[in-house]
Every structure is written in C-alpha cells, then in structure tokens.
Chains A and B, each alone.
Chain A
Amino acid sequence: MSILVVAEHDNNAVDPSTLKTLAAAQKIGGDIEVLVAGKGCSTVAENVAKADGVKKVMLADNEAYEHQLAENISELVADLGKNYSHILAPATTTGKNFMPRVAALLDVAQVSDIISVESDDTFKRPIYAGNAIATVQSEDNIKVITVRATAFDAVAAEGGSGDVESIDSVFNNDKSEFVGEQLAESERPDLTAAEIVISGGRGMQNGDNFHMLEDIADKLGAAVGASRAAVDAGFVPNDMQVGQTGKIVAPQLYVAVGISGAIQHLAGMKDSKVIVAINKDEEAPIFQVADYGLVADLFDVLPELKEKLKNTFEDSLPASI
C-alpha cells in the first residue's frame, strides 16, 4: 500500500492538521508520501520531509496552487493520486473543498471526516452532527479520505528524513480565480490547535464583554471561542464559532462560559479532555457533559477567576523574580 497525504499549509509553515493526518496515514500502514502544492512553499516541503514516517515529499511550486483553488489542486492530486491506494487530506475547509473533486475525477467515493482507522479499508466517522458514529468500509481501489485532525495525535515533526522531489505538472484552469481574503489576526493560538479554549455564549450579553474572556485567555495562553448563539447575536465574528457548523475542537481544557450547551455546540467540543461549565442556570444541558460545573453569574466569576489565576501564576514563579 502507498498513501498520498496532501499537506495543509499557508506557503510558509505546515499546518498542525497535516501532522495529525500523517498519524492517520501511519495507522493505515504502508509507504507515506506527501504532496506540498503552493507557491514559494519549498520551506514547507523541507519541513514536512522531517516529519516522522514521511518517505518522500513532492513539491509542486507554482502560481496556480498559491491559493489552493479547488479546480487546480484537485486535478493535480487526482493525476498524482491514481498511483496510490489511499489519498488523505485534513478535513479543514481547504481539504473539504478540493477532495470531493479528486474523488469524482477518479470515479470513487469519498470517506469524509474519519475519527479512527479500523483497518486499511474500514473507518469510523461521525454522522448526524456527531450524535451517531458510523463504521464504514470502502470498496474502492483508491480510497479518498478526509481526516478529522482533532481525533489523531500528531506525529513527531522532527526525526524523519524524507526526500524532496520537485514536480512540474501545472494545472491552471481559466474558470475560477482568487480575488482576496480577510483573515482574522490574533496573537492567541488557533482555536483548533490550542491546548486551552475558553468560549462564551449568549450569556455574555454583548461583544464587549468578551474582553473578560480574552483577559483570562491571555493568562492561560488559550484561544477564545464562541457558541453559535453568540455568533448569531452578532457578539463576535463567525470564525470564532465552536460547534458542528463551526470549528471542532478537542483541547486539554475547555471552559464554557454562559453557554447553555445546545447539541450543535456539544458536537464541536465534547471530545475535550476536561470541560468546565460556568452558567447561572443549573438546569443548563452543558452541565451534563462538564467535568466541573460552577453554577454562578459569570459576571461575578470571570473577574474573580482572572484574579485567582494571576495569583496562581505568581505563586508558581521562582521567589527570586
């Protein structure tokens, strides 16, 4: 068996989801080769080649791939991928965008968003917003798969010694073009990669109050998220949304503040290691999944928490400072 993993990156650095997809590839077993397609992304290729278990990296460096346009990337991946038994990509918005086109070009089905590898042709994946888990078996000769990154532990980023090989196939379509993008800029870690996530819901009452969460997040090195209710109410932008229709997160610690715990939110965070819920409604469903629940008014709790975390942090500093 030979597996092609399509790397996710921004032309400068490899996205952590790639290392997690590599972990899924290792579970399937076989030779693992990686495609890095982009523009000016040779550093990415060199770095991916160092990841554990990577045999070879193919670098397709061309303007046509700069913005990961699905029309171009899918042709490239389908062209290369016909020689492999499996093609994997992270189930990010990029992978979700081009992979089904790859599958259709190869005339095979796609297995979306796998959360475990049972064997080389059998996988588990969530359906019905995570309210059921399906075990599926693919009979296609090429298995096209997207991987839910949060369900796999990343392979080591160092230690491997794959070769980097440039490929010059260029697929450039004339029907779609990149116009522009607006990316949220934040000093805080990315929601899907953060070890700690603190999220606010409708209980935050307005967008300004989210600074209380941000203050705490900055003490903990955490990312700030939100429930769909908070996004729909216009408190915060939609890229902060945690849930089935937003980001799926699985941090070490998830703190839900003023979030009732609708199914759609739970689907996005219930695989977190430790869940804390702070809500003044003791009947809120979020408490049914929380390891630690605090029934209290968040406007009392957050300032106190900020203060206490400060003390905790200062206590742990060496006395000489």
Chain B
Amino acid sequence: MKILVAVKRVIDYNVKVRVKPDQSDVDLANVKMALNPFCEIAVEEAVRLKEAGTADEVVVVSIGPKAVQEQLRTALALGADRAIQVETDDMPDSLSAAKILKGVVEKEGPDMVILGKQSIDSDNNQTGQMLGALTGMPQGTFASKVEVGDGFVNVTREIDGGLQTVKLNLPAIVTTDLRLNEPRYASLPNIMKAKRKPLETTSPDELGVEVKRTIKLLKVETPAERSAGVKVADVDELVDKLKNEAKVL
C-alpha cells in the first residue's frame, strides 16, 4: 500500500517564542525551524509500516515556500521515498491546507494519509479531520497505536480518560499523538542519500485549489506572566499559608 504523510515546517520546539514589539505576530526572523514533532512521528510510523512490509511506498508532502524543502529532505532522510512541495508564499490556514492535501490525495491515491495531530505553532488540531471530511475518508485521530489489516486499519486513540479503538476501512486518515512511536535520528549516509531522492514541486493552482483566509490575526500578545511567590521554610508554614493566606484548604 501507499502512504501519504503531510508534514509542516515550524519553529523548533526548543526555541523560546518571542512576540514582535508591534504585537502583529510572533517573531520568526532568524529562528531555528524544524519538522513539527507530531509530523516527525507521522513520518516514523509510515517508515515503520514500510519496513514491516505493510507499505511499499511513503510519499511526503509539505505546503509552503521553498524553505519547506528542508523539512521534506529531513523526512526523506528518515526513510520516505519521495517528496512533494506545494508552493505557497506563506503558510495557508487549516482549511486551505486540507483542500490542497485533498488535491494531492486525488493525484496520488494513497491507502492511508498520516498527519501530526497538530502543529506546535498554531496549535489548531484541524487539518487531518478536515481532510477526512473533504475526501470522505474515516479518521483515527490522536493515535497511539496503528494496526493495519486487510483493507482496514485499527487505530487506538488517546482520549480524555483513557483509550479508544476504532476500525477504519482504507483509505483512511490517521493523526499521530506523542506516544505512537519514538522517531529515529537520521543517519549521515541517509541524509546524503536523501539529497538524491525525488522532490517534485507543484502549486495550489495546479491542484485547482483557491487559497483563502477567513480568520484574521488581529494581535499577538505575551501571556500574563505569573510572578514567583514566596519560599516557605517548612511544611507547617506551607499548610498555614494555604489555610490562612490563600484560603484554598
């Protein structure tokens, strides 16, 4: 089977986010960028399915300016076979991204699409589900286990209060949660090899998708900082403060 993995270029998760002085957005100038951690898990899962003989081809796709090719090369170094960049000037919103991915799905005809459950920049948690609705595919979101059967996939999902398992007919959408797997590091030989793997570029126009944005970003602020309180000397003082000062006991 063929697996399509959608990946996003985001700020590296180790970088401290700063808001621009004019509060128009966060400042991403000269900031280290990386593959979104949930997308990395998605690539890893697809590659493992290929290594297990379940999948025979893993295609990665990313939407955005030329810089996203860096993350596509990372995905290729992790084991994906080929890459598609859908070139846009900036990052589209989730609905436009889902429409673009629908175009790619129609062209590639994958049996499974794996995405991260959310990107760590906008934290929307939407694209996979939207792609499901647009393509009519069933979805297994927040996956912690993926087991492929004959024409179906069982997905164990992390839900509030525990785990839920659903059975989905293929083709299906899977979005990854953190504990699905632990992604490998790309080895140097694989990084070298990735440079020669095919990377094709297309555009929303070619896929017949109009990119629009209906949510306007008015302002970005730094959240109210909590200030450090007091240090207490011992348990007695702690219990006393909680009872008599904070009045929470």
Task: Using CB atoms and an 8 Å cutoff, list the residues of chain A in contact with chain B.
Answer: 67, 69-71, 74, 92-94, 96-105, 107-113, 122, 126-140, 173-184, 190, 192, 196, 220, 238-239, 245, 247, 252-253, 263, 270, 273-276, 282, 287-296, 301, 304-305, 308-309, 312
Contact = CB atoms under 8 A, between A and B. Distances in A.
Contacts of B188: none
B126 to A, nearest CB: 4
B139 A176 contact: yes
B222 A70 contact: no
The binding surface of chain B is classed by DSSP as mixed
B190 interface: no
Contact of B125 (A112, A238, A247, A290): A112
A312 B144 CA distance: 43
Interface in B199-240: 213-223, 226, 228-232, 234-236, 238-239
Contacts of A129: 120, 123
Interface size class of B (residues with CB under 8 A): 35 or more
Contacts of B231: 282, 287, 292-295
B242 A253 contact: yes
A266 to B, nearest CB: 9
24 contacts: A70-B141, A74-B133, A92-B160, A103-B95, A103-B130, A108-B214, A110-B94, A110-B95, A122-B218, A130-B223, A133-B220, A134-B220, A135-B218, A175-B136, A220-B249, A239-B160, A253-B246, A291-B229, A291-B246, A292-B230, A292-B246, A301-B235, A304-B235, A308-B236
A132 B121 CA distance: 10
Contacts of A93: 142, 157-160
A247 B76 CA distance: 33
A289 to B, nearest CB: 4
Interface of B: 11, 16-17, 19, 26, 93-95, 98, 120-134, 136-139, 141-142, 144, 154, 157-169, 172, 177-179, 213-223, 226, 228-232, 234-236, 238-239, 241-243, 246, 248-249
B68 to A, nearest CB: 19
A176 B169 contact: yes
B221 A132 contact: yes
Nearest to A134: B220
A44 B183 CA distance: 43
A308 B161 CA distance: 31
